[in-house]
Structure 1
Amino acid sequence: MPMTRTTVALSAAVTALLGAQAQAQTWSLATAAAPYKGTTVSAIFLDRPGYKAAAQLIPQFEKETGIKIKFEVVPYESTNQRYVLDFTSGGGADLVLSDVVWIGQFADAGWMVPLDKFTKDPKLADPALNLKGFFPVLLNSFGTWNGKVYGLPFDNYSGLMYYNKCTLKAAGFSGPPKTWDELLKVYGPKLTGNGKYAFALQSRRGETQSADSFMRTLWLAGGSLIDAKTFQPNLSSAASQKGLKFRQDLMKYMPPGVVDQDHNEVVNAFNQGTVPMITEWSAFYPTITDPKQSKIGPGCLGVTTEPLGSAGLKPALGGFSLGVNSNSDAKKQAAAYLFIQWITSEKNAKAYVQAGGVSGRQAVYKDPAIRSKYLYVDPMVKSWSAGTAVPNFRPRFAEWPQISQIVAENGTKIMLGQLSTAVGAKVIDDQVKAILEKAGYYSGKKAKLQ
């Protein structure tokens, strides 16, 4: 048979396919890790369930690879500052834990290695990696910057409503509020009194105030920090003002010290029965269901999506990716990538979930056993679906850490009524605009919302 252009192309395609199949059959973690045996990879972890879950799985990785994972637990509120100090001095942990709003800062500064350095290396890249297997909103929000993947979704969050069915039933409610307005006007008055409060919204000054509290109430009313079209500060808009006023009004149905409460304090208040409803991250489900930490009676826990706002379902979105430090040497970078690829893999997703983590992999949540065992799964998957999740729940640009400090300081004052919503909005808007103007967003030197 004569060799035509078509047969040559077909032969090349078959050869490539067989080569890919051979690679898939012969690639193994142990073989890939052999050159890096004895390497120690350093990491920063948080004191949250997803990291405790990873810690349970790490010994298996170390046994299979001979690579040691050494992690240090750091408080969330000081983690960004710690990274910046380490990176600018030419050091830092080999594994980079990047919050959804840090990735622009880290990538723009050149502190993270684009992962295609490793995914294009057949010796390191697991053929089963399957980037499309992650929820798109997670990979795009936590791991991608300017079209390049810098990290894989690791500790993944959706805002959910946790509620005590038994407490609500005793007060005459058949379920949780369907809307934020209903929570404020109906549930709030009936469930508050005698040292008990209807609801708690974690609002400690810092990223918890600016993201978990401030931004959540903007989005539920259809407001935003920045106008997506004009890129001008947007807190003085009618929708943003409505959201900030709603939060002020909700204060009378929340514990008086809520502006000093972080996630752990709010979850503990729920677990101890001080409040029957909270909106918290999916990642705190293991803490809420731990009988050693919770007094919620059997069958009393309910989990659903966040209530609907005037803008519909706009649940909080958060989470972290794991990437590689560009300051680390080549061996540590490769070893770090192998761990990232392994801990976020589809193969290990079920074990990670069962250990208390929240995987970013779509396939694991199709498992009937996982869906029936973990009450957070269905509302979380709904919250991460296309058209519901808000990728820029917090604006994803490198200047966010500066802006977050401004929002946190003044957001607390607005929440307490020390500043009116109008005055507080103007204070924040003016400072935010100055930062963005200096950075070059209005002159066209920088891209806008990612």
Structure 2
Amino acid sequence: MRKTSLFIFVVVLAVMVLGTFSIGFARGGKDKDEGPVTLRLLYFQWAPGNALAKTAAGYEAATGGKVKAETELPGFNEWYAKWLSSIQAQEYVWDIIVIDSQWLGMAVDADSAVDLTSLIGNKPFVKQIPPTMKPYYMGDPTDSGKIWSVPLEADAELMIYRKDLFEDPANMKAFKAKYGYDLPSPPDTWASVRDIAEFFYDPANEFYGYINKYGVPYDVITWDFNQVLWSFGGAFWDRETKTAEGYINSPKAVKAMEFYKSLTEFAPPGWPNAAFEETVQSMSQGIVAMAVEWSSFAPSITDPEKSKVHDKVAFAVPPRGPEAHYVSLGGQPMTISAYSPYEKEAADFIEWFYETEQIWTYAENHGHPAYMDVLSSQRFWDILPQNKALYDTLPYVRDIWNIPVYNELLQASQELLNSAVTGAKPVKEALDELAARNQATLDDFYK
């Protein structure tokens, strides 16, 4: 397995994002400090990160002062760059690192994550991890049967819609007269999403039907498109045969992209660059009827201080397609750094975190634990309006890649899916190029 491209990417990204950031404050390789132990945790600044920090703050008291946990919460881009830089430096900075689920293969390939199979694999809390999420949050990118991570934040895409508009009798009557069927609330098929988007589209009054994350930043269009792709019977690749050719450029994939592209006709201005913030803001400002966004980004949409429609939105499982029903899985697992001198202490912290009191502290501070007794409870559903919908996605969630060449695959996907949806390239041409580039990446890696 090759690591050269990963380290080149690490160095370039670290220079671009961090500038003068240095790993130099790392505490001397694997030498342990004397006295009480301090576990250092890395995540990023958002509601689940704050929930982790608040929960972790109770660990010092729980251990009688023997071990405390400090949580660092940089911005999203800095979080990613810091993690990648620590891999390149191969030095001790953090003990527990929360990573995006897709980065796991990169971490394992770089020998930067501890094998948790014996440390955590048989702990009782593992049985609480939803079975549809477990292969992705604890899945083995090397196919060796080992465990390299434990889920922290469970996340999935949700359909967010203006319930006040959907339940308005005049809209219901007009919609049925135009389309011949009842206005579904929530939208239940991708075909109905297009009809509803068209119905509510009113650019003269600066109101639009639908917004999605169509932009190039990070992974946004890839993960938003893939649930449409799967629901149309397509796929990015076949993991068993390591094949992209004939999958992402198949007739079903072309049909899925042509449909996905058609939704942009009803999007607000600026949609070609839309990412997390643009989608959340479009809904919060009350200028769209529907949006697809991650559950963990949704709290601001129902926050009275941040949203004009905080009491007018509802959440649901994204709709089914003509051939299947799948939902894009997000979320972040915890890894223990291979450079940490405190592997046992870090594993003990994770086990403590999954005890009932702590897992509820995390949930009540707007985290979404991958823990069935929490996700399935009315108590959890009452914390945030989207929590019941997140639970309802469990039968449908699915992920794409967590293999070491994730970055190369993602970069091609982001570029070419955006080219297809914006019309910069014809759909078939863009998907053929994507298939060829990803096949070359897979062939190079698995040869």
The whole-number CA distance in structure 1 between the counterparts of 2:418 and 2:378 is: 43
User: Normalising by structure 2, what TM-score?
Assistant: 0.81
Q: CA 1:37 to 1:384, structure 2 compared with 1: closer, same or farther past 3 Å? A: farther
Unaligned 5+ segments in structure 2 are 1-32, 173-182
Cα separation, 1, equivalents of 2:213 and 2:72 = 25
Amino acid at match of 1:94: D
Partner of 2:338: 326
Letter in 2 for 1:258: W
In the alignment, the residues of structure 2 paired with residue 437 and residue 314 of structure 1 have an alpha-carbon distance, to the nearest angstrom, of 27
* SS state at 2:187 partner: coil
Q: Is the 8 A contact 2:217 2:275 kept in 1?
A: no
Q: CA deviation at 1:80?
A: 4.0
Give how far 1:286 is off: 2.5
- Compared CA separation, residues 344 and 413, structure 1 to 2 (3 A): farther
Superposed CA RMSD in Å reads: 2.4
Matching residue's letter, 2:58: Q
Q: Distance in 1 between matches of 2:428 and 2:79?
A: 32
Aligned to 2:162: 164
Q: Is the 8 A contact 2:196 2:209 kept in 1?
A: no
- Tell me if the contact between 2:90 and 2:112 (Cα under 8 Å) persists in the aligned partners: no
1:420 aligns with 2:426: yes
1:266 and 1:273 mapped to 2: Cα distance?
A: 11
- d(CA) in 1 for partners of 2:48 and 2:36? 26
**Number of residues paired by the alignment?**
394
Structure 1 residues 155-183: Cα deviation after superposition (integer angstroms, max 9, x where no partner): 11111111111133346145232111111
Distance in 2 (CA, whole Å) between partners of 1:165 and 1:51 is 30
Q: Secondary structure at the match of 1:312?
A: coil
- The answer as to 2:209 corresponding to 1:198 is yes
Given candidates 422, 428, 436, the residue that maps to 2:442 is 436
Task: Judge conservation of contact 1:177–1:187 (CA < 8 Å) in 2.
Answer: no
Match of 2:414 in 1: 408
Q: Counterpart of 1:240?
A: 253
> C-alpha deviations, 1:409-439, integer Å up to 9, x for none?
1222112110111110111111111111111
**Distance (Å, rounded) in 2 between the aligned partners of 1:43 and 1:373:** 25
1:225 aligns with 2:236: yes
Cα 1:288–1:377 change in 2 (3 A) is same
Q: Secondary structure at the match of 1:71?
A: strand
CA distance in structure 2 between the partners assigned to 1:358 and 1:185 by the alignment? 32
Of 416-425 and 73-82, the range deviating more from structure 2? 73-82
CA-CA distance at 1:112 after TM superposition: 0.5
Counterpart amino acid of 1:306? P
8 A Cα contact 1:189 1:253, kept in partner: no
Shift of 1:230: 4.0
Match of 1:339 in 2: 349
Identity %: 21
Question: Which residue of the partner structure matches residue 22 of structure 2?
Answer: none
Counterpart position of 1:149 = 147
Selected match of 1:389 from 372, 389, 397: 397
Task: Please say if residues 159 and 315 of structure 2, whose CA atoms lie closer than 8 Å, have aligned partners that are also in contact.
Answer: yes
| Mapping of residues 40-189 of structure 1, within 5 Å | 40-65=38-63, 66=65, 67-77=67-77, 79-91=79-91, 92-119=93-120, 129-145=124-140, 146=143, 147-170=145-168, 172-173=171-172, 175-189=185-199
* Partner SS, residue 162 of structure 1: strand
CA 1:223/1:211 → structure 2, altered by over 3 Å: closer, same or farther? same
Residue deviations 1:291-335 (CA, integer Å, cap 9, x gap)? 21122253x221111011123321111111101000122x3x233
* C-alpha contact 1:195 1:274 (8 A) present in aligned 2: yes
2:35 and 2:263 map into 1 onto residues whose CA distance is 55
Superposition map of 1:300-379 within 5 A = 300-329=312-341, 331=342, 333-379=343-389
Task: State the structure with more CA Rg.
Answer: 1
Offset of residue 64 of structure 1:
2.2
| Aligned pairs (5 A) from 1:26-41 | 38-41=36-39
Name the aligned partner's letter for residue 97 of structure 1.
Answer: V
Write the letter of the residue equivalent to 2:49: Y
User: 1:203·1:262 contact (CA, 8 Å) conserved in 2?
Assistant: yes
Q: How has the CA–CA distance of structure 1 residues 356 and 223 changed in structure 2, closer, same or farther, with 3 Å as cutoff?
A: same
Contact 1:43/1:93 (8 A) holds in 2: yes
Q: Does the 8 A contact of 1:259 with 1:412 survive in 2?
A: yes
1:248-267 equivalences under 5 Å are 248-267=261-280
Give the distance between the partners of 1:41 and 1:366, measured in 2 at CA. Answer: 31
The aligned amino acid for 1:176 is: P
Whether the aligned pair in 1 keeps the contact of 2:56 and 2:70 (CA below 8 Å) is: no
Gaps of 5+ in 1: 1-34, 444-450
Question: Cα distance, 1:77 vs. partner?
Answer: 4.5
Tell me the distance in 2 between the aligned counterparts of 1:415 and 1:403. 18
Q: Tell which deviates more after alignment, 66-75 or 178-187.
A: 66-75
> By how many angstroms is 1:284 displaced?
2.6
CA contact (8 A) 1:156 1:320 kept: yes
Question: Given the superposition, is the C-alpha separation of residues 195 and 154 from structure 1 closer, same or farther in structure 2, using an over 3 Å criterion?
Answer: same
Q: From the superposition, tell whether residues 394 and 282 of structure 1 become closer, same or farther in structure 2 (CA, over 3 Å).
A: same
In the alignment, the residues of structure 1 paired with residue 217 and residue 77 of structure 2 have an alpha-carbon distance, to the nearest angstrom, of: 7
In the alignment, the residues of structure 2 paired with residue 313 and residue 160 of structure 1 have an alpha-carbon distance, to the nearest angstrom, of 13
Q: CA deviation at 1:210?
A: 4.4
Structure 1 length normalisation: TM-score? 0.81
Distance verdict in 2 for CA 1:232–1:303, change over 3 Å: same
Q: 1:307, 1:167 → 2: CA distance?
A: 18
Q: Contact between 2:216 and 2:414, CA under 8 Å: does it hold in 1?
A: yes
